[in-house]
Structure formats: structure tokens, C-alpha cells
Structure 1
Amino acid sequence: MICVSHLTALDLPPEDMVIAAARAGFSGVGLRIFPPAQSPDQYPVWNDRARIRSLRDIARDHGIRIFEAESFGMGAEVDRTAYARAVEAAAELGAGVITSAGIDDDAGRLAANYHWLAETAAGHGLVLAMEFMPYRGMKTLEAALKMHRRVDHPRAKLLIDAIHLSRSGAGLAEMAAIPDRSAIGHFHICDAPAIPPAQLEDKLQESRTGRLYPGEGGLPLSDLLALLPEGCPISLEAPHRDQQGWAPQDRIAAAGRVTLDWFRRHSVAVA
């Protein structure tokens, strides 16, 4: 299954994102249904039952799965009641995974909250994908692996993002050294120049608006895919650096053309 994550065109409302992803040829789509505090308008789906039903119907009618639900970022303060309701909403949408950036600097508190969220996700048949980012509390693959061991829950997995892996200083050797690759539960693919920006702020901006589609940069994507566990879900997360002035539907259409062709040329199933 090749999905496209909402960040690729976050200015598209969820309903339009589902339709655009289906028309672009993706078999799955990721939606932001639980908005972060800094942008509460993107998108408060989790507590809107009618909207949940409508999105589920739109996805069914367009032959696409709402596979990835976000953003369950795990910071210092967690409203467990709201998070639990958002997990339930993700399950109602048919999601397979909820994604959660490790924002909290307190590793003990983060582990406890992650264990609770994994248990909550498990109750709805979902996987919790914990994501490291070089500018968040959980910054590196090494830190994420330590957190995975500490959380110690079968439904808690790692989300590896190609650009975060590169910009946090890791690569193929570190991926190959992961002792149990079944710890990886989800992969965000994109491309970028092989040489990262020097400043952390520039890395942050690149990840939000400056990515490339597979094959357009210098990241070792084929080799990274070969290190994933069999059947690992893959989502394109690529707000493109050269398309910020494009209409969002056109960005998703381009993402589908370039990305799915890249997968076919590299003999990776796209459905």
C-alpha cells in the first residue's frame, strides 16, 4: 500500500484530500483529524461524528482507504480523554495507524504516555507509530529505539521518516543495525538533497515546505526500502519545495504521477 500523507497538501480539507489522493492513484491517504494546539483549525474531525461518517463514505465511494490518522503529538500535557476519543474516531474512519511525534523532553513521562496511547490504540485494532524528529524531544533514531524498548508494547512501533532520518545524522548503517526490524511500523518517504541544511531551523523549514518527491534528490530511498520489514506501510509525505504556489489538488496529482512511477520503476508494488 502506497499512501499520501496530509502534510503533502495540508491546505486541502480532509474531504478534498481523500478525493485528490484517490484521483492521483494512491491506495491510501493520511488525514490530520486531531489538530495540534498551534493550528486548531487543521482539522477538528475527531469530535464531529457526522463528518467522520461523511469522510468514511467519501473514501468508500472513491475506492481509497483512510489509513493514517494524525496528529497525536505527545507533549508534556496530554488530555487523555480527548486523545482516546480521537483514537476512536481514527478507528471509525478505518485507519490502520495513528502517528505521534515524540515532543516531550521528559523521557519517562513520554514513555508512560506512549504506553497508554499504544494500549488505547490496541483496543481499536490500531498501531501507534512513534516518530522522531531532529527538532523535537525525541530527536534521533537511537533515541526512538530506546523509547521503543522503554514503552514495551506490541502495538507501539517506530515511524521512520526519510528526511528526519537523514537530518538527524543517521542513514543506511544505522537502519541496518536495528536489531529487530519488526520495531518499524510505518515509513514516510520523500526525497531531499543528500547534504542537509547546516542550521536546525533550516532543517525544520525544509521538512515542512521543502521536500522533494522520490527520485528528485539524493537520499538512498531504494536501499532504505530494502531495510523495512515485509509489508511495512509506506506514505509519501512531501510538501514540495518547488510547488508551494500550486493549487493543492495539482500538488497531489503531481505527487501521484512522480511517486507511483518511481515505485513501479523500482519494482515495488503500489497497490
Structure 2
Amino acid sequence: MDVTFGLAHLSALHLDPPSLVTAASEAGFAAVGVRVFPATGTEARYPIAAGAPMTAETVRRCRSTGVSVLDVEAFTLDGARGPAEWMPALEAGAELGARVLNVIGGDPDSSRLQDTLAVLAADASRFGIRPCLEPISYQCVDTVAKAARLAEGTGAGIMLDVLHFVRAGGTVADLEALPTGVVEVIQLCDGPATVPDLPTPTELPLGQSVDGSSRQIESRAHRLTPGSGVFPLSDILRALPNVPISVEVPSAARVAREGAGAHLKDLHRATTTLLTSPDTAGVR
């Protein structure tokens, strides 16, 4: 069975985009996600913009390895950001060949958020990119049901992060109730049944914020390899057949201990094992 899937940038955020493409190819991944906009206020930003040397080098490495860019991330709609902030992200995404822009719903005014999302979707369509809301369990948009209601009629989709789906109490029935085709990407990882009591890291790649709850620290730095936790991954994948997968498993301790190359190869091996298991085979 020929199983292909991609790698989310958060799995190796310390690698700049060109290095990420090379490392992903060496580990066996077919695609990557690229962070073009900071997800937290303390983050540094890679110089990845339309026309920038790093963007050109990323495209060159994609062509030489056959790795594609599936999505660019992570743009938070907070009630204040608009075209002046998202157009550079869309332009960079278009140059990289991405078809999805990861969007976080951080605006507590749901009516305004939906209106802004519609404008973003209209702008993004000119670049062949679809904005996709990622429900995050500690953000304003925390469930797939909320994301689906906001996306309705805007042209936007959903990026399903399995960690946040489980932590927000999501069920397979929630996925089965979604409109066909609204989920564009599944960000795959695993975890324990409940949020572990995690130590606060001294630092995270790119200067990501180390403040926040254990749920936030788990999300940024302590996810488990697919198949090594208790999340109902096969059930989720069967409910969303043929949706592209992006493996998102940041593990700061493991990368420090074993190196990024070993970490990414293990992610690819574990995900292949999951996707070819009797419970999951045939849904990709």
C-alpha cells in the first residue's frame, strides 16, 4: 500500500523552512507545512516572504526532493488583524505552492470573526488557497462544531488538530456531522487520556511562549507519536477518509536527546504503521 502524508512544521520548528524540506524528505514525508506567521507573541519569524531568498531556497529544495508544501501557518484572527497582515502570508503561501492557510479563531466576537473570515477567504481564493480554522481547545474557537458554524457560507474549511479535538471533548459523531469536504487537513499526534502535569520548559524553538497552562505546554512541546497514546486515531481517520494528514508531534525533550533526524524518522515509521494497520488501512 502506498501511504503518503506530510509533516507539520511544529514537529521540528527549530529547522528553517529549507532545512525542514530536506529533513522531511530524508525521513520519508511527502509534504510539509511551513510557519510563515508567528503563533505566539514572543516568537521570532523566519524571513519567509514572497520574493525572499529563503522562500526561493525552500521552493528549490521542494523541486529537488519532490516534497510539496501543503499548508502555511499560523494566522490568528483576533478582531484587529486584517488584509495588511494576512496578504503577506498569502503571497508567501502562493509562492511556496500551499493550498491551505491555517487560521486560529482568537476573536471572542463570533459575528465579527465570521465576517473577517469571509473577507480572508475571498482574498485567499485569488491565490488558490483556502483558509482553514483550527479549533484549539484553549482558544475562542475550541470545537469542530463552532468551526463548522463559522466556516459555513464563507468558503473556509477546517484543519483538525487531533490533540485539540480530543482535549475539547470531541467525538467521532461530531466528525460525522460535518459537511462533506470541510476538513482539509488532519494534524495527527497521540497523547494520554488526560492532560499530564508538565514542567514548564525553559525555552521553546523560535522563542515560542513558555507561559500558559499544561494544556498549552502539551500542545507546543509534549505530544506523543501516533500509536503511542490512547487517542482514537483509527476511528477519527475512518470518519474522515482520504483527508490529507500532517504529522504534528513537537517533542522538545526527544529532539534534544536524539536529534531531529531520529525524531522525524520515528514519526514517519509510526504513522505508516498506523495507516497500514487493519483498523485504518483503506481510508487514505
Give me the TM-score of the superposition, normalised by structure 2: 0.86
Match of 1:236 in 2: 247
More displaced 10-residue stretch of structure 1: 3-12 or 243-252: 243-252
Match of 1:177 in 2: 177
Q: Distance in 2 between matches of 1:170 and 1:53?
A: 40
Shift of 1:48: 4.9
1:105 aligns to what SS in structure 2?
A: coil
CA contact (8 A) 1:213 1:240 kept: no
Structure 2 letter corresponding to 1:254: D
Change beyond 3 A, Cα 1:236–1:193: same
More displaced 10-residue stretch of structure 1: 133-142 or 75-84: 75-84
2:274 counterpart of 1:262: yes
CA contact (8 A) 1:211 1:241 kept: no
1:177-222 Cα distance to aligned partner (Å, 9 max, x none): 33x2322122111111123459981211111111111110101111
CA contact (8 A) 2:185 2:245 kept: yes
Structure 2 letter corresponding to 1:115: A
Q: Distance in 2 between matches of 1:15 and 1:106?
A: 37
2:96 counterpart of 1:93: yes
Q: Distance in 1 between matches of 2:234 and 2:219?
A: 20
Match of 2:154 in 1: 153
2:41 counterpart of 1:38: yes
Structure 2 letter corresponding to 1:49: A
Match of 1:163 in 2: 163
For structure 2, the 5+ residue unaligned runs are: 199-211
Give me the TM-score of the superposition, normalised by structure 1: 0.90
Change beyond 3 A, Cα 1:167–1:117: same
Shift of 1:252: 1.8
Q: Distance in 1 between matches of 2:94 and 2:50?
A: 13
CA contact (8 A) 1:34 1:44 kept: no
Match of 2:123 in 1: 120
1:145-184 Cα distance to aligned partner (Å, 9 max, x none): 22122xx133x10111111011011122322233x23221
Shift of 1:36: 4.0
2:20 counterpart of 1:9: no
Match of 1:221 in 2: 233
Match of 2:260 in 1: 248
Q: Distance in 2 between matches of 1:39 and 1:268?
A: 42
Identity %: 29
Structure 1 letter corresponding to 2:256: G
Q: Distance in 1 between matches of 2:135 and 2:283?
A: 27
Structure 1 letter corresponding to 2:264: I
More displaced 10-residue stretch of structure 1: 36-45 or 251-260: 36-45
Change beyond 3 A, Cα 1:133–1:43: same
CA contact (8 A) 2:82 2:116 kept: no
1:2-51 Cα distance to aligned partner (Å, 9 max, x none): 11100011111111111001111011001102234624523231255222
Match of 1:59 in 2: 62
2:83 counterpart of 1:72: no
Shift of 1:253: 2.3
Q: Distance in 2 between matches of 1:251 and 1:39?
A: 25
Task: Figure out how many residues of one structure are paired with residues of the other and give that number.
Answer: 265
Structure 2 letter corresponding to 1:239: P
